[in-house]
Chain A
Amino acid sequence: MPKNTIKPIEKVCVIGAGVMGAGIAAQIANAGVEVLLLDIVPKDTPKDGNRNAIAEGAIQKLLKQNPAPLMTKRAAKRITTGNIDDDLKKAGQCDWVIEAVIERLDIKQNLYANLDKFRLKDTIVSSNTSTIPMDELIAKSKAPFKKKFMITHFFNPPRYMRLLELVTKNDTDPEAVERIRHFCDYRLGKTVVECNDTPGFIANRIGTYWLHCAVTEAIKQDIDVETADAVLSKPVGFPRTGVFGLMDMVGLDLMPHVLSSLSNALDKDDPFHALGDAPKLLEKMIEDGYTGRKGKGGFYRLTKDKTKQALNLNDGSYFDAKRPKVDAAKAGKKGMRDVLTHDSAAGKYAWTVISKTLSYAASLLPEIADTIVEVDDAMKLGYNWKYGPFEMLDKLGTEWFSEKLRAENRPLPPLLGIANGQPFYKNIKGVRHYLGGNGEYHPVPRPEGVLLLEDIKRTQKPLLRNKSASLWDIGDGITCLEFHSKMNSLNPLTMCLINKAVKYIPEHGYKGMVIYNEGAHFSVGANLALLYGAAKLHIWPFINWFLNYGQQSYNKLKYANFPVVGAPSGMALGGGCEVLLHCDGIEAHAETYMGLVEAGVGIIPGWGGCKELLERAQVKQNARIKPLKGWVAPNFVPGGPMAGVLEVFPKIAMAEVPKSAFEAQESLFLRKADRVVMNKDRLLFQAKERALLMAEGYTPPKPPVFRLAGQSGVAAIKLGVSDYVKKGVASEHDAYIGEVLAGVLCDGKRGDINHETTEQDILDYERAGLIKLAKTKKTKARVVHMLKKGKPLRN
């Protein structure tokens, strides 16, 4: 269905203000959409009492929760509250009603019947159930209701988990399905995976099996939780927490519910039952309040003095965590197969759990989903696996895996028979294909408006490339600059590629550039180890050169004759933030965390970050206000020479990092014209569109001229900072960094309201200030601490 004929969803109602319901409401509010959040009227509410207390309380919790479900505090204002006794009429008038009440069939059916009385004919209703089949949910509903009903299963926490499982039936209204799919994809940023109406759908079916298998096998094989987590985590592409750590995070009390509802719903011959019941130990732990991180602890706990302890699975006692060095886990550096074949108890354990889980997954098609692509997507986005089960099988080799099963006399899932030694995914003429149930390969579908570098890389070679960065042709005359060093840290090679790209693009008839990559984080900033090494050897001229090289490279992006559009996702810190600040436009994924965090390691931004923030705060705003001729002096700075500086100073001095792209928009890091993209998969496409749009008649920006307060401004900032030191909020070294930063931002050298400070002046001050700080002992200590511990040191 063409996009423009899809009716938008403008108002949503969420019924059930528990953790999931409130979290879903928050994500809808994040998307800029009005939400009505309902729950029951609290028992024994007096006549004049607050009937919406539960929903209102849920919003208060949302505002306090960490990690934050809301992308900005302002988003909470889009959530209105009510209760299901008084407000079903309002609910029925919404475009979409999401039911997220307790998992009880009678309650849900009753609610649907009541809701149907008020439902407008186009109002879509969906359930967030994770256990009850759709057929049962709507068994008692009227036909028109059934047509507008589906299951939309969100994952916790709804803001951060990208998976949405969608269950529909043949007679579900296709227009309604398309509306929900479009809204969840574009506005809520979800990857919508279609599932069949089977117990646990895709992710929980396999995920629960996986976790349950890991627990029961650990007990059976006498593997301690630390060893289990060391091996069933990063080495095989499972979440860093490991399986037991993950269960602590999710909450142990959920496990028995999920296990019993799954085992009740599954066929008797489902291999799930062979895993056995939940261990007795788990029941006791939950009874005693050991429900995981939200309770007293779980498989791990922290003692009062913050010592980490692990659970002894045999007797339920705790012992101080030993952080064992597990050889089988280390073998993961060579490959996943080396972990599973490692001749040790841990290796054997890993093989058992993974082989069982992958076999189980492979046996579930076509029961749970139409293709392996849905299964892989669901496990990657719903359980944070790095590879889906079928991608893992490809990594291990389908032939190798099948051989091992045969050798152990275990049944071979039919799909592995169909693969018959061939991989599940194949690159055919540059297009990724998946193996279908018919034994043929089909192209992996990409929704319209999704452009991935991952796909482009299969068909082309980069236009330019070195060890740290590449330039790609992403079509229609637009190029993409990709960072690909470790953590996407920035070094002279990155700058070298930027310089080459800036020359290459116009010379070869390209029209614009997007800066984007598909790493977990856009960039963590300059390579700190490199700078520290040079500082240790006192090669200050090298540092000065490297800083200047970065400054000039970024300025080339800013003043190039073609538009440069930044498209960040994840962290964009320090130098990674500075490159974005030099872009002509930004399309930011909602989960972007931009900030100038240099002060955390005792320095100040040295690649134009000070200059760019100051330009945003002061010069640009001035340009919008036209001074009245003849009345206002020619050097008129609205708000005075300090207003902009005072806005910028705390952002850098306190290393402020907005916790979403929306927060960055409320701060100085994003400009009004910059846009937030909810769906990460659509980021590159939208950035490219923006670059194309800007390329029409593009003219580079004019360099700003600053009018600053000079030493008077420095004095003012010193005054303010000294109060913070007395209050105990800032350290002496913080104050010194502040003083150096103030000198840069105010032009401590020549600044005066009648003096024009240039961009280059500020860049020169940045370099001088950074080097001055780098020479201090306390800054060195901060850098060493960051390099060793990955956390800032307060000194």
Chain B
Amino acid sequence: MSQTKSIVIAAYKRTPFTRAYKGDLSKVRSDDFGAQLIRGLVDQTKIDPETIEDLLVGNAFPEAEQGFNVARLMVFLAGLSNSTAGATVNRFCGSSMTTIHQAAGNIAMGAGEAYICAGIESMSHVPMTGFNPMPNPELMERMPQAYIGMGETAENLAKKYKIDRTAQDGFAVASHQKAAKAQDDGKFKDEIVAIKHGGKEIKEDGCIRGDSSLESLSTLDPAFDKNGTVTAGTSSPLTDGASAVLVCTEEYAKKNNLEPLARIRSIAVSGCLPEIMGIGPVNATKKALERAGLTVDDIDVFELNEAFAAQSLAVIEELKIPLEKLNLDGGAIALGHPLGASGGRITGKAAQLLKREKGKYALATMCIGGGQGIATVLEAL
């Protein structure tokens, strides 16, 4: 792949991720916490809002407070320049990674120099089916798996790849331990923008359970299939949160005294069978790596979105990802998975880790409901 411009991730921020319904963000509108995050990104990077071409906002259920093309509204809420446009993007869990891809593509086309690529999701306020689920009855008759529930797809992968309960529990415990350690070591401080609400500051992640253990997880009942192996403990929790990434040309970063985290090397999306949507990262990653002329062995840092432990383990097996390079600061099972915001988090995180770990290449990839995968390859500058 030939790239005429060097397009970089110059900054990555997120809100705290907190548990839906009971967490600190559960009573905050997602356009509000999203706008505060964007304001925080602009303030901390000291960029001139006038120079931002577009605010792209990923969201998996764009209705209610997330409706009305919320991206444009967040331009106003965040106090950006009126000249900055706004578009809401939906690819379910891949939404905010897609905004990064779109920005990169647009910049490559010469359509502007800087984009804010964000993602927001209040799973407390907008249910996962939306308020008015109305599937196409004809499609549902012909192909019910087009609307399959996510838990069931994880069960399917657990069966297909013979991933037993203990392996899943173990994976989840490791995720919590990594996240808890990162939290204790203050490794999230740089990326989290505190959210003000009702006279208080929300600044801590709310889903991580450092005390999670094999024993405690082994007591949970299956959550989706009475005969299955997937539990609430080995699934990513329902979460509220937002992420934001500044995508721009290397030149722009220099002009604005920003030290870029990583260069975007290649991107890909790929469809797969909806009933095993969790395997989506495999083909997406293969395509992205091929476009970059790289192999899995070249990658130093992997960020794989942990929708489910079973799903993650299946992808790890297929791609042969070395565990010591995977999700160094914990994954979605521990941190939470605010659908539309997760893609921005793992891409931004991969960029940040690449720099921190002084690696050469990083990969961020995730599965998407309905049967898709999305992947981004980053390289050090």
Residues of A in contact with B (beta carbons under 8 Å apart): 639-643, 709-716, 718-720, 723, 726-728
A643 to B130, CA, bound (A): 10
* B140 and A715 contact, CB distance less than 8 A: yes
- Size category of the binding interface on chain B: 20 to 34
Q: How far is the CB of A661 from chain B (nearest CB, A)?
A: 29
Contacts A712-B137, A726-B152 known; 7 new A-B pairs at CB < 8 A: A642-B134, A643-B131, A710-B137, A711-B137, A713-B134, A718-B140, A728-B225
* B134 and A709 contact, CB distance less than 8 A: yes
**Please, could you name 13 A-B residue pairs with CB atoms under 8 Å apart, sorted by A?**
A641-B132, A642-B131, A643-B132, A713-B134, A714-B137, A716-B129, A716-B133, A716-B134, A716-B135, A719-B135, A723-B149, A726-B225, A727-B226
| Chain B, residue nearest A746 (CB) | B134
Interface pairs A-B: 4 shortest CB-CB: A728-B226, A640-B132, A712-B134, A711-B137
Known: A723-B149, A726-B225. A640 touches B140 (CB 8 A): no
* B136 and A715 contact, CB distance less than 8 A: yes
A639 to B130, CA, bound (A): 11
A713 to B151, CA, bound (A): 22
Known: A639-B131, A641-B132, A709-B132. A719 touches B140 (CB 8 A): yes
- The one of A639, A642, A727 in contact with B133, judged by C-beta atoms closer than 8 angstroms, is A642
A480 to B132, CA, bound (A): 43
Task: Collect the chain B residues with CB atoms within 8 Å of residue A712's CB.
Answer: 134-137
A303 to B141, CA, bound (A): 50
Task: Collect the chain A residues with CB atoms within 8 Å of residue B137's CB.
Answer: 710-712, 714-715
Task: Collect the chain A residues with CB atoms within 8 Å of residue B133's CB.
Answer: 642, 716, 719-720
A80 to B260, CA, bound (A): 58
List which B124-157 residues lie within 8 A (CB) of chain A: 129, 131-137, 140, 147, 149, 151-152
- Interface 0/1 of B194-231, CB less than 8 Å to A: 00000000000000000000000000001111111000
Interface of A is mostly: helix
A237 to B326, CA, bound (A): 75
A720 to B149, CA, bound (A): 9
A334 to B350, CA, bound (A): 87
Task: Collect the chain A residues with CB atoms within 8 Å of residue B222's CB.
Answer: 727
Residues of B in contact with A (beta carbons under 8 Å apart): 129, 131-137, 140, 147, 149, 151-152, 222-228
Instruction: Identify the interface centre among A643, A709, A712: most chain B CB within 10 Å of its CB.
Output: A712
| Chain A, residue nearest B131 (CB) | A640
- The one of B131, B132, B134, B225 in contact with A727, judged by C-beta atoms closer than 8 angstroms, is B225
Task: Collect the chain A residues with CB atoms within 8 Å of residue B224's CB.
Answer: 723, 726-727
A728 to B227, CA, bound (A): 9
A640 to B222, CA, bound (A): 33
Task: Collect the chain B residues with CB atoms within 8 Å of residue A716's CB.
Answer: 129, 133-135
Interface of B is mostly: loop
| Chain A, residue nearest B155 (CB) | A726
A723 to B134, CA, bound (A): 16
A792 to B137, CA, bound (A): 32
Q: How far is the CB of B67 from chain A (nearest CB, A)?
A: 12
| Chain B, residue nearest A642 (CB) | B132
Task: Collect the chain A residues with CB atoms within 8 Å of residue B135's CB.
Answer: 712, 715-716, 719
Task: Collect the chain A residues with CB atoms within 8 Å of residue B132's CB.
Answer: 639-643, 709
A123 to B137, CA, bound (A): 67
Q: How far is the CB of A706 from chain B (nearest CB, A)?
A: 15
A162 to B297, CA, bound (A): 79
A718 to B137, CA, bound (A): 10
A494 to B16, CA, bound (A): 63
Task: Collect the chain A residues with CB atoms within 8 Å of residue B129's CB.
Answer: 716, 720
| Chain A, residue nearest B225 (CB) | A726
A75 to B372, CA, bound (A): 49
- The one of A640, A642, A726 in contact with B226, judged by C-beta atoms closer than 8 angstroms, is A726
A711 to B225, CA, bound (A): 26
A764 to B19, CA, bound (A): 45
A640 to B127, CA, bound (A): 14
| Chain B, residue nearest A710 (CB) | B137
Task: Collect the chain B residues with CB atoms within 8 Å of residue A715's CB.
Answer: 134-137, 140, 147
Task: Collect the chain A residues with CB atoms within 8 Å of residue B223's CB.
Answer: 727
Q: How far is the CB of A522 from chain B (nearest CB, A)?
A: 36
Known: A726-B152, A726-B225. A719 touches B134 (CB 8 A): no
A306 to B224, CA, bound (A): 32
A642 to B133, CA, bound (A): 7
Task: Collect the chain A residues with CB atoms within 8 Å of residue B131's CB.
Answer: 639-640, 642-643
Task: Collect the chain B residues with CB atoms within 8 Å of residue A719's CB.
Answer: 133, 135, 140, 147, 149
Q: How far is the CB of A94 from chain B (nearest CB, A)?
A: 34
Q: How far is the CB of B46 from chain A (nearest CB, A)?
A: 41
Task: Collect the chain B residues with CB atoms within 8 Å of residue A641's CB.
Answer: 132, 134
A709 to B130, CA, bound (A): 14
Q: How far is the CB of B381 from chain A (nearest CB, A)?
A: 46
| Chain A, residue nearest B227 (CB) | A728
A711 to B141, CA, bound (A): 11
A728 to B133, CA, bound (A): 23
A718 to B136, CA, bound (A): 12
A713 to B137, CA, bound (A): 8
| Chain B, residue nearest A748 (CB) | B137
Task: Collect the chain B residues with CB atoms within 8 Å of residue A642's CB.
Answer: 131-134
| Chain B, residue nearest A717 (CB) | B133
A139 to B235, CA, bound (A): 68
Task: Collect the chain B residues with CB atoms within 8 Å of residue A714's CB.
Answer: 137
Instruction: Identify the interface centre among B132, B149, B152: most chain A CB within 10 Å of its CB.
Output: B132
| Chain B, residue nearest A641 (CB) | B132
| Chain B, residue nearest A713 (CB) | B134
A639 to B140, CA, bound (A): 23
Task: Collect the chain A residues with CB atoms within 8 Å of residue B225's CB.
Answer: 726-728
Task: Collect the chain B residues with CB atoms within 8 Å of residue A728's CB.
Answer: 225-227
A727 to B155, CA, bound (A): 12
Q: How far is the CB of A638 from chain B (nearest CB, A)?
A: 11
Task: Collect the chain A residues with CB atoms within 8 Å of residue B227's CB.
Answer: 728
Q: How far is the CB of A70 from chain B (nearest CB, A)?
A: 23
Instruction: Identify the interface centre among B136, B140, B152: most chain A CB within 10 Å of its CB.
Output: B140
Task: Collect the chain A residues with CB atoms within 8 Å of residue B228's CB.
Answer: 726
A709 to B226, CA, bound (A): 31
Instruction: Identify the interface centre among B134, B140, B222: most chain A CB within 10 Å of its CB.
Output: B134
Task: Collect the chain B residues with CB atoms within 8 Å of residue A709's CB.
Answer: 132, 134
A711 to B228, CA, bound (A): 31
A728 to B225, CA, bound (A): 7
Q: How far is the CB of B146 from chain A (nearest CB, A)?
A: 10
